């Protein structure tokens, strides 16, 4: 083994890194608001409009994939393989049981569900490892460093995390646990959907060895084809290759994939930039009890204000999220005249926004602060906050009830 790449006694092999990857995320979100789609072949199309063949496949459910539907496939081709249910029902030449459902991408809604998942991830890390970190890398995946959990409890932590996501948000996630980011990502793909794979430090090289190179982090189709031309088809082949030759062929990325094939990756799990918002939310047994809702909102307001203070963040917008059965997401927000760090104000505004839902049955509540700044700023007093129109205490109506939009609740 090349000297600089060999693990040393004090390297990062004791790290516990989780890669959380949401399963068919866009399709899962559509099923949240249309439970009848559960178990049905479902295609979500980018640029797709109902009753047309325009656009491309963004996500296909596992049921739809059985018909050969793949991401980036033109909708017209997908329809040839999997007709729409409604058309199959009208056409005697089509089999309704071999047809599916098509939905257009609704990114605002998917972002809202993604925010819910991130809240679960941050809460889980905060509780398990005070020094832990969350690195969200896309709308449907994130890395967690929870080294303080330790390897003896790593599986239990990951299992609990999956359960929290499922129960709190209503979507499924596959989780890979490994001593580094690249191996954890491979592990999360190894048993989809709803999978959990744990690769301990001593197992990483053996776990990776039989995999084809295109399953490794950082190896795309073009690189995989070139590696095949060099006689390198598996991670074991790649781990045994000459790193100098790989560097000559692929540059620094050649050395990186060589290390990844050996289960070596010393990149730290670091957050990507400063957060755009901070939130706290909790599901509850569906209730219309006013006191129960008020007490929960007050507690959530205190939690999110404490997180903002700990992060050194000021906030200019305070928002409330109310989820009513079956899964209608309602959001309200109020903007202040300047950024503040004021826990009492967060509670007051959140409770004021809740008044609109006094008689509603709810299944989840959330409080969020956004328009964050991480510099000192003049803070308006408790009595001078106003909405964006400048009318003090004006009651906001900045999201349509029943619509799952998050445009006013997230950046």
pLDDT digits (tens, 9 = 90+) for 227-269: 999 999 999 999 999 999 999 998 888 999 999 999 999 999 9
Model confidence at 6: pLDDT above 80 = no
Paired tokens of 11: 């390297």
Q: Looking at per-residue confidence, does 87 or 40 come out higher? A: 40
- In the block, residue with structure tokens 């009753």: 51
Model confidence at 338: pLDDT above 60 = yes
Model confidence at 282: pLDDT above 90 = no
Model confidence at 359: pLDDT above 60 = yes
Of 66-75, 97-106, 301-310, 340-349, where does mean pLDDT reach its minimum? Answer: 301-310
pLDDT value of residue 391: 31
Model confidence at 154: pLDDT above 60 = yes
DSSP-derived secondary structure letter, 40: S
365 — pLDDT class (breaks 50, 70, 90): very high
Q: Where in the chain is the domain with CATH 3.30.1490.100?
A: 277-384
Give the mean pLDDT of 75-104. Answer: 91
Of 102-111, 310-319, 393-402, where does mean pLDDT reach its minimum? Answer: 393-402
Model confidence at 379: pLDDT above 80 = no
Other C-beta atoms closer than 10 Å to the C-beta of 198 total 20
300 — pLDDT class (breaks 50, 70, 90): very high
Model confidence at 403: pLDDT above 60 = no
Give the mean pLDDT of 336-345. Answer: 91
pLDDT value of residue 93: 84
Paired tokens of 353: 């926004």
Top CATH class of 41-99 equals alpha beta
Q: Where in the chain is the domain with CATH 3.30.70.270?
A: 3-24+110-261
Crossing angle of helices 343-354/290-310, nearest 10°?
A: 150
Q: Where in the chain is the domain with CATH 3.40.1170.60?
A: 41-99
Other C-beta atoms closer than 10 Å to the C-beta of 358 total 10
pLDDT value of residue 281: 82
Sign of CA dihedral 161, 166, 171, 176: positive
pLDDT value of residue 376: 45
pLDDT value of residue 374: 81
Task: Name the burial class of residue 130, with classes exposed (0-12), middle (13-18) and buried (19+) by CB atoms within 10 angstroms of its CB.
Answer: exposed
Paired tokens of 326: 């079956």
118: nearest Cα among 317, 267, 6, 275: 275
Of 106-110, 163-167, 315-319, 346-350, where does mean pLDDT reach its minimum? Answer: 106-110
pLDDT value of residue 328: 82
Crossing angle of helices 107-128/25-33, nearest 10°?
A: 100
pLDDT value of residue 59: 94
pLDDT value of residue 66: 96
Q: Looking at per-residue confidence, does 384 or 366 come out higher? A: 366
Q: What is the average pLDDT value for the chain, to the nearest integer?
A: 85
Give the mean pLDDT of 176-199. Answer: 96
Of 104-108, 184-188, 200-204, 389-393, where does mean pLDDT reach its minimum? Answer: 389-393
Q: How far apart are the first and last CA of the chain?
A: 47
User: Which helix (H) or strand (E) segment is 261 a member of?
Assistant: helix 252-261
Yes or no: say if 43 and 101 are a contact pair by the CB < 8 Å rule: yes
375 — pLDDT class (breaks 50, 70, 90): low
Task: Please pick, among 30, 63, 111, 141, the residue that the annotation labels catalytic.
Answer: 141
> Does 391 qualify as catalytic in the annotation?
no
**Range picked from 85-99, 150-164, 388-402 for highest mean pLDDT:** 150-164
CATH architecture label of 277-384: 2-Layer Sandwich (3.30)
Model confidence at 382: pLDDT above 90 = no
Yes or no: say if 194 and 165 are a contact pair by the CB < 8 Å rule: no
Model confidence at 389: pLDDT above 60 = no
400 — pLDDT class (breaks 50, 70, 90): very low
Nearby residues of 20 by Cβ (< 8 Å), 6 or more positions away: 117, 121, 141, 142, 143, 144, 161, 165, 173, 174, 175, 188
pLDDT value of residue 273: 67
| Order of strands, sheet of 56-60, starting from the edge strand that comes earlier in the sequence | 56-60, 42-46, 101-104
pLDDT value of residue 51: 87
Model confidence at 181: pLDDT above 50 = yes
Instruction: Using alpha carbons, list the distances in angstroms from residue 368 to 116, 119, 153, 379.
Output: 11, 10, 31, 18
pLDDT value of residue 342: 93
* Of the options 3.30.365.10, 3.40.50.740, 3.90.1170.40, 3.30.70.270, the CATH number for the domain spanning 3-24+110-261: 3.30.70.270
Give the mean pLDDT of 270-290. Answer: 83
pTM: 0.69
**Range picked from 62-71, 90-99, 267-276 for highest mean pLDDT:** 62-71
pLDDT value of residue 77: 96
């Amino acid at each position: 083994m090349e000297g600089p790449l060999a693990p040393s006694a004090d390297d990062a092999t004791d790290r516990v890194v989780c890669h959380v990857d949401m399963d068919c995320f866009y399709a899962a979100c559509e099923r949240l608001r249309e439970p009848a789609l559960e178990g049905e072949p479902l295609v979500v199309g980018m640029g797709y409009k109902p009753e047309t063949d325009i656009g491309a496949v963004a996500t296909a459910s596992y049921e739809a994939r059985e018909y050969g539907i793949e991401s980036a496939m033109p909708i017209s081709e997908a329809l040839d393989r999997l007709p729409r249910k409604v058309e199959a029902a009208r056409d005697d030449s089509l089999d309704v049981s071999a047809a599916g459902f098509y939905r257009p991408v609704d990114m605002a809604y998917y972002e809202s569900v993604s925010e819910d998942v991130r809240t679960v991830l941050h809460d889980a890390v905060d509780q398990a490892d005070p020094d832990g970190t969350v690195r969200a890398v896309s709308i449907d995946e994130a890395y967690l460093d929870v080294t303080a959990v330790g390897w003896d409890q790593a599986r239990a932590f990951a299992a609990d995390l999956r359960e929290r996501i499922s129960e709190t948000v209503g979507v499924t996630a596959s989780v890979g646990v490994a001593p580094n980011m690249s191996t954890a990502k491979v592990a999360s793909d190894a048993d989809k959907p709803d999978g959990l794979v744990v690769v301990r430090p001593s197992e990483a090289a053996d776990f990776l060895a039989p995999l084809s190179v295109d399953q490794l982090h950082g190896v795309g189709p073009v690189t995989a084809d070139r590696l095949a031309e060099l006689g390198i088809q598996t991670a074991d082949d790649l781990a045994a290759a000459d790193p100098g030759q790989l560097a000559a062929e692929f540059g620094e990325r050649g050395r990186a994939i060589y290390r990844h094939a050996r289960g070596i990756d010393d990149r730290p799990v670091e957050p990507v930039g400063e957060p755009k918002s901070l939130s706290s939310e909790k599901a509850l047994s569906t209730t219309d009890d006013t006191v129960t809702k008020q007490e929960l909102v007050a507690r959530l307001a205190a939690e999110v204000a404490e997180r903002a203070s700990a992060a050194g963040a000021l906030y200019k917008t305070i928002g409330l999220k109310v989820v009513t059965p079956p899964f209608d997401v309602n959001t309200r927000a109020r903007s202040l005249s300047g950024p503040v760090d004021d826990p009492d104000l967060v509670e007051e505004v959140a409770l004021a926004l809740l008044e609109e839902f006094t008689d509603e049955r709810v299944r989840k509540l959330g409080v969020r602060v956004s328009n964050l700044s991480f510099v000192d700023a003049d803070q308006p007093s408790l009595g001078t906050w106003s909405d964006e129109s400048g009318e003090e205490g004006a009651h906001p109506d900045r999201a349509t009830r029943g619509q799952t939009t998050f445009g006013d609740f997230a950046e």
